[in-house]
Amino acid sequence: MPTYARLPVSFERGTGAWLYDQDGNPYLDALTGIAVCGLGHAHEGVQKVVAKQAGTLLHTSNLYEIDLQTSLAARLCEISGMDNVFFCNSGAEANEAAIKIARMYGHKLGIDNPIILVMRGAFHGRTLATLTATANRKIQAGFEPLVPGFVRTEFGDMDAVRATTKNTKNIVAVLVEPIQGEAGIHQPPTGYLRALRDHCEAHNWLLMLDEVQTGNARTGRYFAFQHERGLLPDVLTTAKGLGNGVPIGACLAAGKAAGMLGAGAHGSTFGGNLLACAAAHAVLDAIESGDLEARATALGKRIRSGIESALLGSNRIKEIRGLGLMIGVELAAETKGVVPAALERGLLINCIGDRVVRLLPALTMNDEEADELVARLADTLKAL
């Protein structure tokens, strides 16, 4: 089905920060499959583990114990401070699990029509429930009736949250991204997540963080919420970079949220199978052994300052923002054709609308490659 507006290139192989098309032409990958291949392409550790697991056992189903899944859950809980994990296959599925936890929580409080507070600018997925939670009428159009049980307020604005609280009954949870990715790489004010945490506790809500894109060391901490010391959500979702290209998602819960889903309440045929869990273990090993959280911070600063220097005095850039290797370059005016122009220069990026260039490079990119990314992007923008 023609659901994608594909670019006219097909890749045959990759290594590190580079992809090669069928003619052997190299492309510097500053998108990594939309924040998926955080370790780069053909990462040796992931490659070896996946090949070994494929030659041993791929899948048994969740009807049986899966030791790799149990140990992966333990590692993720240790990293995050959460209590337990439900494994699935994508970020949308992880957010579906979070939504089900919130609804179960509401029903156990005696609320027949529980409401989840979501944000303008949010993106949580394309299933019917996560599509409803997402604030994008363009991708919702034609799929009505949407799922009831959501109310929307302004992202990063605690006064708006308080006003919505007064005007809406039966709110049981808030679902929010620590940094909005699909909206254009927008960070809330410092202390916003802490204030949300306090507000949730005061009203007996669940704080649910969508770290599908921000997780797995992309922002300079394993999870973005960890930039605020001592903060712990009730529910936490992630996917994308967890498997470095092998599909896996995770919904983590803590405290009162951790006991919401019992046997038979939720499930997934493929979720947390041996291959996916083996790949995720390899990703965690690489992040820990390579100190890739610190590397993401250093590379992000290098790229942002490099773009600023390369375009100093230019009227092409309105703002450069982001955290770690989650970077948005907002252009001063709508400029169509940025992505294909970059492709012609051997650089892979994407744009959010016609104004924001999004950069999500590999955490393993070296300094020379980071500088090359800056040079090719600057050349692209100057040419336009």
* Residues 348-369: tens digit of each pLDDT: 999 998 899 999 999 999 999 9
Q: At CA 123, angle to CA 121 and CA 128, rounded to 5?
A: 125
- Distance from C-alpha of 336 to C-alpha of 355, rounded to nearest angstrom: 8
* C-beta neighbour count of 47 within 10 angstroms: 14
pLDDT, tens digit, for every residue of 21-32?
A: 999 999 999 999
* Alpha helices (runs of H) in 180-247, residue ranges in sequence order: 192-203
- Distance from C-alpha of 299 to C-alpha of 60, rounded to nearest angstrom: 40
Return all residues near 148 (Cβ < 8 A) that are at least 6 apart: 113
Residues 220-230 have a mean pLDDT of 97
pLDDT, tens digit, for every residue of 66-98?
A: 999 999 999 999 999 999 999 999 999 999 999
Min mean pLDDT across 53-62, 71-80, 242-251, 306-315 is at 306-315
Please check whether residue 77 is in contact with residue 84, taking contact to mean a CB–CB distance below 8 angstroms.
Answer: yes
Return all residues near 152 (Cβ < 8 A) that are at least 6 apart: 117, 118, 119, 120, 122, 135
Of 55, 29, 62, nearest to 43 by C-alpha is 29
Residues 101-119 have a mean pLDDT of 98
Residue 21: what are its φ and ψ, rounded to 5°? -80, -175
CA distances from 206 to 44, 102, 175, 267, 284 (A): 39, 7, 8, 22, 27
Residue 313 has pLDDT above 90, yes or no: no
pLDDT of residue 67: 98
Q: Which two tokens stand for residue 161?
A: 């949250």
- Distance from C-alpha of 76 to C-alpha of 276, rounded to nearest angstrom: 14
- Distance from C-alpha of 335 to C-alpha of 354, rounded to nearest angstrom: 6
pLDDT, tens digit, for every residue of 228-272?
A: 999 999 999 999 999 999 999 999 999 999 999 999 999 999 999
pLDDT of residue 315: 87
pLDDT of residue 68: 98
pLDDT, tens digit, for every residue of 198-215?
A: 999 999 999 999 999 999
Residue 338 has pLDDT above 90, yes or no: yes
Q: Which two tokens stand for residue 87?
A: 């494994």
pLDDT of residue 12: 98
pLDDT of residue 48: 98
* Alpha helices (runs of H) in the chain, residue ranges in sequence order: 32-35, 44-54, 67-80, 91-108, 128-133, 137-140, 158-167, 192-203, 274-289, 292-310, 338-344, 367-383
* Alpha helices (runs of H) in 191-264, residue ranges in sequence order: 192-203
Min mean pLDDT across 110-124, 207-221, 287-301, 324-338 is at 324-338
Residue 334 has pLDDT above 90, yes or no: no
Query: 18-21 and 171-176 as β-strands: parallel, antiparallel, unpaired?
Result: unpaired
pLDDT of residue 51: 98
Residue 314 has pLDDT above 90, yes or no: no
pLDDT of residue 215: 98
Residues 100-104 have a mean pLDDT of 98
- Distance from C-alpha of 334 to C-alpha of 33, rounded to nearest angstrom: 24
Return all residues near 335 (Cβ < 8 A) that are at least 6 apart: 316, 354, 355, 381, 384
Average pLDDT, the chain: 97
Residues 142-154 have a mean pLDDT of 97
pLDDT of residue 312: 83
CA distances from 156 to 121, 149, 184, 247, 323 (A): 11, 21, 14, 31, 16
